[in-house]
Each structure stands twice: as structure tokens, then as C-alpha cells.
């Protein structure tokens, strides 16, 4: 009698590398009407010392990524996206948690982002994680001149030990 073995989903987070750019571009094109270019990601990874980007893998396959700029004690989320086939399964939730934990680990006290005024799903996720609306950027998105809601959250202080299981760390 054959056993029905269910494969356990294994999620891992790691720092984005230049080799990840092709996967990231696929995710970018699935997620955004104004996707970033290969050159933009290459510049972020090689030239921008404030930039921190991570990959979320499921069973070894890149299914999401997130990025932020860390300036002084504030983190600014630049991008966060999950492959279309994996949406609605709480992966965005896990990715945002990891990004927030990493920002806290790096000494950030607050985090900010912009989100389309019409993107209620993302706004709901951000609010669930403690982000609050703080203003509007008029005509922020150049594809349709849509406004962006500016949101801010206070990050919890990182543990006194300086180690937090699961957080992405620079090597």
C-alpha cells in the first residue's frame, strides 16, 4: 500500500544576489504596472549602500522578494512582491514580517512605504502589521497619475542579545 506523503513547504529568506535578478524581474512584471529594470536592480545591489534586498524561497524556488533603504534609524520599503501563483497564501505576510525583523535587527526604529490609494489588499496587510496612513503623495505613480498613501510603522526594538532566529543577516 503506497503512502501519501505530503511535501512540507519550506520557506527560507536570504540576501538577494546578482544571480537572482532574472527571477526578480519575472516577479516584478507579474506584480507591478511599472516594473523596475534589470539595471535598476543591479544598481541597487552594487551601488546603493543604503539598499537591502532579500529573496523568499519556497522549496528552493524564488517566489518573492522585498527591498528597503536603511537611512539613519528609518527603513523605507522600496519593493515587496510575491509571484502571482503564490498570492493569497500568506506569503506576503511572512515576507513583510521578515523585512520588518531585518530592519529592526539593523537598528531601524521606524519603517515607511508608499502604496497605491486603490490597492486596498496591500493597505490591509500593512495596517495589520502596524502601519498607519500619514499622508498622500499626489500623482505619485507615473503610469496613471494615481496618488500614493504614505504609511509609517514603529518597529519593535530588537532583542538585547543581538540575535533573532530567522532574520536575514549580512555576511
Distances (CA, A) of 160 to 79, 104, 157, 163: 29, 12, 9, 8
End-to-end CA distance of the chain: 47
State the catalytic residue, choosing from 65, 109, 126, 140: 126
Question: Is position 165 annotated as part of the catalytic site?
Answer: no
Picking from 115, 38, 103, the residue whose alpha carbon sits closest to that of residue 95 is 103
Residues 6+ apart with CB under 8 A from 64: 27, 55, 56, 80, 81, 82, 83, 86, 91, 92, 95
Q: For 58, list phi and psi in degrees, rounded to 5.
A: -120, 115
State the catalytic residue, choosing from 26, 109, 114, 141: 114
The packing angle between helices 21-31 and 38-46, to 10°, is 130
Question: Is position 126 annotated as part of the catalytic site?
Answer: yes
**Catalytic residue positions, numbered:** 114, 126
Amino acid at each position: 500500500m503506497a503512502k501519501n506523503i505530503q511535501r512540507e513547504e519550506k520557506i527560507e529568506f536570504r540576501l538577494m544576489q546578482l544571480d537572482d535578478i532574472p527571477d526578480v524581474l519575472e516577479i516584478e512584471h507579474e506584480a507591478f504596472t511599472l516594473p523596475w529594470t534589470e539595471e535598476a536592480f543591479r544598481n541597487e545591489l552594487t551601488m546603493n549602500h543604503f539598499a537591502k534586498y532579500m529573496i523568499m524561497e519556497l522549496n528552493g524556488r524564488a517566489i518573492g522578494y522585498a527591498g528597503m533603504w536603511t537611512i539613519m534609524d528609518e527603513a523605507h520599503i522600496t519593493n515587496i512582491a510575491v509571484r502571482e501563483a503564490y498570492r493569497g497564501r500568506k506569503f506576503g505576510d511572512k515576507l513583510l514580517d521578515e523585512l520588518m525583523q531585518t530592519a529592526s535587527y539593523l537598528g531601524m526604529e521606524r519603517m515607511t512605504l508608499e502604496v497605491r490609494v486603490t490597492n486596498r489588499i496591500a493597505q490591509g496587510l500593512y495596517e495589520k502589521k502596524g502601519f498607519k496612513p500619514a499622508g498622500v503623495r499626489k500623482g505619485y505613480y507615473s503610469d496613471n497619475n494615481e496618488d500614493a498613501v504614505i504609511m509609517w510603522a514603529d518597529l519593535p526594538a530588537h532583542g538585547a542579545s543581538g540575535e533573532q532566529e530567522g532574520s536575514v543577516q549580512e555576511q
